[in-house]
């Protein structure tokens, strides 16, 4: 076996001579809910099923599993396979290649030292115990995946679990309006680059002076003097925004206006069409959204694997090796082999790889780093980072680091859930769908026939859903991914932070307008005050002393009262005069009547009046015309000669 949570959870310090008893798995005689998925499946479920088979065949039902760790690289599944392949308890991945460069030299017929399982009643207690039937183990168990490079070395049982490869990235920090303000101020201008904005501004300025040249002398809407420049600039600028405030009057001006309007229309349409897509894509930056993004080679991916020189004329492996702390002899993980296979089958696939010695971080003293709340593997630069923490710690000074990692889904979810339970946060999250499924099985020596009954027992257990029940158990809960990726910036919705630049531009314009308006208002009212003072001095109404100036409110109130009393007196006097005028008017009317009557009598007596000449109608009409109409106010001015 190999130490690889959540499949094998073992404390290597409690193992003696590579042999790990149940206590090393956290188990007791009363039961074991720990130890890992594979350990629990084999020790409890698979053993019970094998006992049933043996009982049905009337064979010995005494079955016992003894668990051995590899002598080195204890977390590597390849090390466990090497022990079986070479038929030696003390074998490891380093010896898997053999002295002549071939993997497991005796693999064709199986390891020479393998002679079958040790009988139950034999006291085989360790790798150096000569009472053991074979010099190596019977089974390799743990996170042993069925791979083509292992098919010629060992015999696999039926798979008891299907695993997939999953991508994990650093969780982006929650968006902060204040923290994101500097980067979001110019976000609304992002669809056009700086050069294009400068070109648009230059065009507006040029059109400003063209308008001034062809329209300045003939267009009455353009201001005079120096203000004509700002006025035509405003005309040119508002045309770009679709709201021109003037119309050209000359033929040349109309031609220029049409060309400028077409330019403005195309610019506005292009900007509007690209703005929404630009903002929704979070400023257009590429992100790791799954395994396919890593296959483009644009992002660095962390995984266990060997160091190699990708710039060599004939590199040992495909892809670009960009860093990590791995050595040449580091085990090729399943993820590493999957990527090599994909790059071999497709020339367009490329991975930028950072290879590391192990998944977990080690301290400078060579001890496993204990992940605890408040502790960080990133603080101590002497730590040898594992795959998880290489991604977690991010960029370290000028050293490039990977943006994502790839690992089998169950191991990844288990570790991310464990870390969240410790510190309450998901600093690493899964991203995208899982890919590249592969089977997990037990590995036997090629000459062994044990894979037959084991495969039959595994198939029976799979039909009962035993492994899925273990995954859902309280000890593992691997059906619950507690750290999936969630967008912290609102997803595809445009938020206030992204539109900050627009609001700042609008309110900035309003502020400048208010400031200019305040200055204009100040000088406007100051001019009115000067005019009032000059007018008062001309009318002799200027204040005589400083006290009158200091108390304008009291003086104004007193003046109003005086004027009111004066006007009231004048109105009363006018009423009296009107009464007198009406009396005089009545008297004059009476005198006129008497005069007319006297004149009529005299004319009659002399024979010269209208009546005497037979013109009585004319005389009557004249009298009627001169007579006052009832209800009219007679105007005494009518008595004056015309």
In degrees and rounded to multiples of 5, residue 71 shows phi and psi of -70, -30
Q: What architecture (CATH level 2) is domain 191-280?
A: Orthogonal Bundle (1.10)
Q: Over range 435-452, report the average pLDDT.
A: 91
pLDDT at 405: 95
Average pLDDT over the chain reads 80
Q: Model confidence over 194-228: pLDDT tens digits? A: 888 899 999 999 988 988 888 888 888 888 888 88
Coil, helix or strand at residue 584? helix
Q: Model confidence over 271-290: pLDDT tens digits? A: 888 776 666 554 445 678 89
Q: Model confidence over 359-383: pLDDT tens digits? A: 999 998 988 898 888 888 888 888 9
pLDDT at 642: 44
Residue 86 has pLDDT above 90, yes or no: no
Q: Over range 82-100, report the average pLDDT.
A: 67
DSSP summary character for residue 127: T
Q: What does the block give as tokens for 391?
A: 């991604």
DSSP summary character for residue 440: E
**Range name among 57-66, 417-426, 542-551 with the lowest pLDDT average:** 542-551
**Could you tell me if 412 and 434 are in contact, meaning their C-beta atoms sit under 8 angstroms apart?**
no
Q: Nearest-CA neighbor of 81 among 102, 66, 96?
A: 96
| SS3 annotation, 52-68 | HHHHHCCCCCCCCCCEE
Q: How confident is the model at residue 398 (pLDDT cuts 50, 70, 90)?
A: very low
pLDDT at 489: 55
Residue 99 has pLDDT above 60, yes or no: no
Q: Nearest-CA neighbor of 174 among 564, 493, 490, 400?
A: 490
Q: Over range 441-466, report the average pLDDT.
A: 93
Q: What DSSP line would sit under 337-389, residue for residue? A: HHHHHHHHH-TT---EEEEES-SS-B-TTSPBP---TT--TTT-TTSB--HHH
pLDDT at 413: 93
Coil, helix or strand at residue 69? coil
Coil, helix or strand at residue 437? strand
Q: How confident is the model at residue 45 (pLDDT cuts 50, 70, 90)?
A: very high
**Range name among 236-245, 302-311, 482-491 with the lowest pLDDT average:** 482-491
Q: Model confidence over 139-165: pLDDT tens digits? A: 999 999 998 888 888 999 999 999 999
Q: Over range 322-347, report the average pLDDT.
A: 89
pLDDT at 339: 94
Q: How far apart are CA 84 and CA 160, in angstroms?
A: 19
Q: How confident is the model at residue 463 (pLDDT cuts 50, 70, 90)?
A: very high
Beta strands in 133-236, from DSSP E residues, in sequence order: 154-156, 161-170
Say how many C-beta atoms besides its own lie within 10 A of residue 320's C-beta.
14
166: β partners = 407
Name the more confident of 329 and 460: 460
**Could you tell me if 140 and 442 are in contact, meaning their C-beta atoms sit under 8 angstroms apart?**
yes
Q: Model confidence over 550-575: pLDDT tens digits? A: 455 555 667 777 777 888 878 888 88
Q: Over range 574-594, report the average pLDDT.
A: 82
Q: Over range 41-65, report the average pLDDT.
A: 91
pLDDT at 48: 93
Residue for token digits 């004048």?
Answer: 570
Cα 609-615-620 angle, rounded to 5 deg: 85
Instruction: Domain ranges for the chain, please list them.
Output: 12-160, 191-280, 291-438, 510-538
Q: Model confidence over 495-539: pLDDT tens digits? A: 666 667 677 777 877 888 788 878 878 888 888 888 777 776 666
Q: How far apart are CA 314 and CA 306, in angstroms?
A: 16
Name the more confident of 477 and 2: 2
Q: What does the block give as tokens for 452?
A: 């037959």
């Amino acid at each position: 076996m190999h130490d690889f949570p959540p499949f094998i959870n073992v404390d290597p310090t409690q193992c003696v001579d590579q042999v790990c008893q149940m206590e090393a798995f956290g188990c007791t005689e009363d039961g074991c809910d720990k130890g890992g998925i594979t350990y629990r499946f084999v020790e409890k479920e698979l053993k019970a099923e094998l006992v049933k088979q043996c009982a049905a065949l009337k064979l010995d039902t005494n079955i016992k599993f003894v668990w051995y760790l590899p002598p080195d690289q204890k977390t590597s599944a390849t090390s466990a396979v090497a022990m079986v392949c070479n038929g030696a308890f003390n074998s490891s991945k380093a010896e898997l290649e053999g002295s002549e460069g071939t993997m497991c030299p005796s693999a064709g017929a199986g390891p020479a030292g393998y002679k079958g399982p040790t009988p139950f009643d034999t006291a085989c207690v360790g790798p150096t115990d000569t009472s053991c039937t074979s010099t190596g183990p019977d089974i390799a168990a743990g996170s042993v995946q069925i791979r083509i490079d292992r098919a010629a070395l060992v015999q696999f049982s039926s798979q008891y679990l299907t695993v997939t490869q999953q991508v994990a990235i650093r969780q982006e920090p929650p968006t902060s309006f204040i923290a994101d303000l500097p980067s979001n101020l110019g976000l609304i201008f992002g669809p056009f680059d700086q050069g294009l904005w400068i070109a648009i501004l230059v065009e507006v300025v040029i059109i400003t002076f063209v308008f001034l040249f062809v329209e300045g002398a003939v267009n009455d809407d353009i201001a005079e003097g120096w203000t004509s420049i700002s006025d035509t600039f405003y005309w040119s600028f508002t045309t770009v925004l679709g709201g021109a405030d003037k119309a050209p009057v000359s033929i040349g001006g109309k031609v220029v206006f049409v060309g400028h309007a077409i330019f403005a229309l195309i610019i506005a349409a292009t900007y509007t069409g690209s703005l929404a897509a630009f903002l929704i894509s979070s400023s257009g930056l590429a992100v790791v959204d799954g395994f396919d993004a890593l296959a483009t080679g644009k992002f660095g991916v962390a995984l266990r694997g060997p160091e190699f020189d990708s710039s060599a004329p004939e590199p040992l492996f495909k892809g670009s090796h960009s860093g990590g702390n791995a050595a040449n002899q580091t085990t090729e993980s399943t993820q590493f082999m999957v990527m090599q296979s994909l790059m071999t089958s497709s020339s367009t696939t490329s991975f930028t790889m950072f290879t590391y010695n192990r998944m977990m971080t080690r301290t400078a003293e060579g001890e496993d780093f204990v992940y605890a709340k408040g502790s960080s593997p990133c603080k101590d630069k002497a730590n040898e980072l594992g795959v998880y923490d290489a991604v977690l710690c991010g960029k370290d000074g000028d050293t490039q680091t990977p943006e994502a990692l790839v690992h089998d889904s169950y191991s990844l979810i288990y570790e991310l859930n464990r870390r969240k339970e410790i510190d309450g946060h998901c600093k690493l999250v899964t991203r995208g769908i899982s890919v590249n499924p592969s089977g997990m099985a037990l590995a036997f020596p090629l000459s062994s026939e044990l894979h037959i009954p084991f495969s039959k027992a595994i198939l029976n257990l799979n039909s009962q859903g035993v492994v899925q029940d273990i995954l859902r158990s309280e000890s593992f809960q691997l059906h619950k991914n507690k750290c999936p990726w969630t967008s912290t910036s609102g997803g595809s919705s445009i938020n206030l932070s992204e539109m900050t630049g627009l609001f700042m531009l609008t309110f900035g314009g309003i502020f400048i307008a208010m400031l200019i308006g305040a200055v204009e208002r100040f000088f406007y009212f100051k001019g009115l005050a000067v005019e009032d003072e000059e007018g008062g001095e001309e009318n002799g109404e200027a204040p005589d002393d400083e006290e009158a100036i200091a108390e304008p409110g009291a003086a104004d109130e007193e003046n109003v009262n005086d004027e009111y009393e004066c006007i009231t007196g004048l109105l009363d006097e006018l009423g009296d005069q009107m009464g007198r005028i009406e009396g005089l008017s009545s008297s004059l009317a009476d005198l006129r009547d008497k005069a007319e009557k006297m004149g009529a009598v005299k004319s009659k007596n002399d024979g010269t009046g209208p009546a005497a000449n037979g013109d009585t109608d004319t005389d009557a009409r004249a009298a009627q015309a001169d007579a006052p109409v009832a209800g009219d106010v007679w105007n005494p001015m009518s008595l004056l000669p015309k």
